[in-house]
Amino acid sequence: GVMEKLGLGPEVLLQENPRLIYARLTGFGQKGKYAKSAGHDINYLALSGVLSKLGRKNENPYAPVNLLADFAGGGVMCAMGIVIALFERARSGRGQVIDASMVEGVAYLSSFLWKTKNLGLWSRPRGENLLDSGAPFYETYRTSDGKFMAVGAIEPQFYNQLIKGLGLNIDELPSQMSSSDWPEMKKKFASIFAQKTQAEWCSIFDSTDACVTPVLSFDDVDSHQHNKERSSFIKNDQGEISPRPAPVLSRTPAVPSRKREPFIGEHTEEILLEYGFTKQEIAKLYSDKAIEFQNPKANL
């Protein structure tokens, strides 16, 4: 209702420009009991059902930072909605309103969980299934130098290479999919991984298809050989590391800025002047606290 209070709701603006695509990104959506309630990523995850699936055995559900609902179910899904609406407008010539709810966005993003419910992938309690830390071959393990290795050896041919790299004999082990043996196998794998450094395990597994990779810190990602060869991470003029835009387009790849991130309000005056506002009008907006400045060079 914020935009309506400003007289800039979709009904008003679509009358002015019927081709307008008006995106409304909120946590709970434009209608429903919680529509006007405050919330954060963890609340949207909870209402979507997805949070109930996240976490280890005998522990509370675990929200992975605020990536799933805010950015994936929210930002990315909303952006996709805008692209879809643009595509449709090319045919109809008409705009429309996008109701992007983070609850629904993350639920739809997680359709795989619903579509595989009856396949046995999620039939056991949280933390005891194939992909939620229940299986010993889909897990992270601490190394002797306090770092970690990520293991994702699901398919039998990959699992065989994992076992070989660990120095075990597959004929002497329980069947890979014997879930009753998974807790004991996790202990066995953990004790073996703890005997070597992360670098030593990389030297063993890097040339294999065992699906074993190092868990890299933010400080290490740009120096890893694979990431270096792809220039997956960039440094700005302050030496700060960030990911390169993805995915990479063949003809029109994104050209990232290597300048530092702007301060909030740093370019407010500059942009408003470009759009035809006078200095007096900008000063009035500032005095009314409609805008703010963080630029010491502002000369109002």
Per-residue pLDDT tens over the stretch 185-201:
999 999 999 999 999 99
258-298 per-position pLDDT tens digit: 888 888 889 999 999 999 999 999 999 999 988 988 765 54
Domain ranges in the chain are 2-119, 138-215, 219-259, 260-299
Cβ 125 vs Cβ 134: under 8 Å: no
The reply to whether 99 belongs to the active site is: no
97-115 per-position pLDDT tens digit: 999 999 999 999 999 999 9
- In the chain, the percentage of residues whose pLDDT exceeds 90 is 85
The reply to whether 40 belongs to the active site is: yes
Q: The tokens of 192 are what?
A: 């073996």
Q: How confident is the model at residue 184 (pLDDT cuts 50, 70, 90)?
A: very high
Q: How confident is the model at residue 120 (pLDDT cuts 50, 70, 90)?
A: confident
Residues near 28 by Cβ (< 8 Å), separated by ≥ 6? 34, 35, 37, 39, 44, 47, 101, 102, 103
Average the pLDDT over 146-159 and give the result: 98
- In the chain, the percentage of residues whose pLDDT exceeds 70 is 98
> Which of the following CATH numbers is that of domain 138-215: 3.40.50.300, 3.40.50.620, 3.30.70.1450, 3.30.1540.10?
3.30.1540.10
Q: Which amino acid is at 159?
A: Y
Alpha helices in 64-197, H assignment, sequence order: 77-92, 102-109, 111-115, 156-165, 182-193
214-235 per-position pLDDT tens digit: 999 999 999 999 999 999 999 9
Residue tagged active-site, from 41, 70, 219, 226:
70
Q: The tokens of 54 are what?
A: 């996240």
Q: How many helices (H) and strands (E) does the chain have?
A: 12, 7
pTM of the model: 0.86
CB atoms near residue 237 (< 10 Å): 9
Residue tagged active-site, from 40, 206, 209, 226:
40
> Which of the following CATH numbers is that of domain 2-119: 3.40.50.1100, 3.40.50.300, 3.40.50.10540, 3.40.50.2300?
3.40.50.10540
